[in-house]
Structure 1
């Protein structure tokens, strides 16, 4: 799993940037706020990343701060919130504003984001209100965001990125890991876990 990139900002466009790390260009999707924070093309940048893995794709998402990545993970734990919607929310709202909106139950503020209708905004607010209020400034070490390390953790992240709830993803990956053994690769874990989750 790629957790962070440090290199030269090679180019940027609508919703993405290319980071040159030792001559290899990484295409990273990001929120508008993260893209603004990267600065001018040619400059040295560090970006925190989240890798989404599917049966037929690999996507690398980038965040200016680890805190923003943690909020992305929390948002995508809600059914109906995929990577695109989560990035839209993080583009529309600062992390502090998002936290306040969730803590106060202000679904209208969440609905400002592109692609977020009133019903989805209400679901997000309902499911995350208690977490936002209890956790305050969320960090990667918080219990709500803890995950297994290695391929198992990456496989769980991949399934949650595909829209499965964390509990469903964990159960499916655990079953896949038990079937395949401790030496199973990430690709194999994701493939088998998807089959088990679909049953």
Structure 2
């Protein structure tokens, strides 16, 4: 089983990269985020690998981090999500953003990915609520938010507060982390206006 490739970037295509490992080139299918993060042709690269074996093919999927690989596998536990859709989600959202979207039950955020319609977006946030990959780093703020809210389901006040903070220019991960600290300290029944005010205080401290 191939777990990681270390070699030189041989070439790119729209959905995969060729990594030259001592004269043998391995084709790894990747998210657009991973492809963009790789070095230029001829330079050294490290790609984490998930191998999928079927009757008619063996295909390698490449990732820039263990976290991305772990989310790929977790996403595919949801009915209707195969490798192509999982890569599309990872192309649209970082692992931290996926964590936040699930914690906040943000169907619209998950729905940004190509191939993810409204019904599948609902299934993703519902079936993955409270779950995190068994390996790989997960955003600490998101874990705090999930713990503070019990099962990772945010109240409408918290969802609205995250939306307000992101509209002010903060990332979803930053907003979630700040509100996780507020909720842990103040409880989960704080009104939206106060959550926004306390969240901004956390972000500016």
Unaligned runs of 5+ in 1: 143-199
1:55–1:5: structure 2 CA closer, same or farther, 3 Å change rule?
same
1:72 is matched with 72
2: distance between equivalents of 1:94 and 1:70?
A: 12
- Could you say which structure has the larger radius of gyration? 2
Number of aligned residues: 138
Write the distance in 1 (CA, Å) between the matches of 2:104 and 2:48. Answer: 28
SS of equivalent to 2:49: strand
Question: TM-score, normalising length from structure 2?
Answer: 0.65
How much does 1:39 deviate?
1.7
What is the distance in 2 between the residues matched to 1:32 and 1:141? 20
Runs of 4+ aligned residues of structure 1 deviating over 6 Å after TM superposition are: none
Q: CA deviation at 1:98?
A: 0.7
- Does 2:91 match 1:95? no
1:139 shift after superposition:
2.2
Q: Which runs of 5+ in 2 are unaligned?
A: 139-205
Equivalent in the alignment of 1:86: 86
State how 1:119-198 maps to structure 2 within 5 Å.
Answer: 119-132=119-132, 139-140=135-136
Higher-RCO chain (CA-CA 8 Å, sequence separation at least 6): 1
TM-score by length of 1: 0.67
The CA deviation string for residues 26-84 of structure 1, in whole angstroms up to 9 with x for no partner, is: 01000001001112111100000000000110000000001100000000011110000
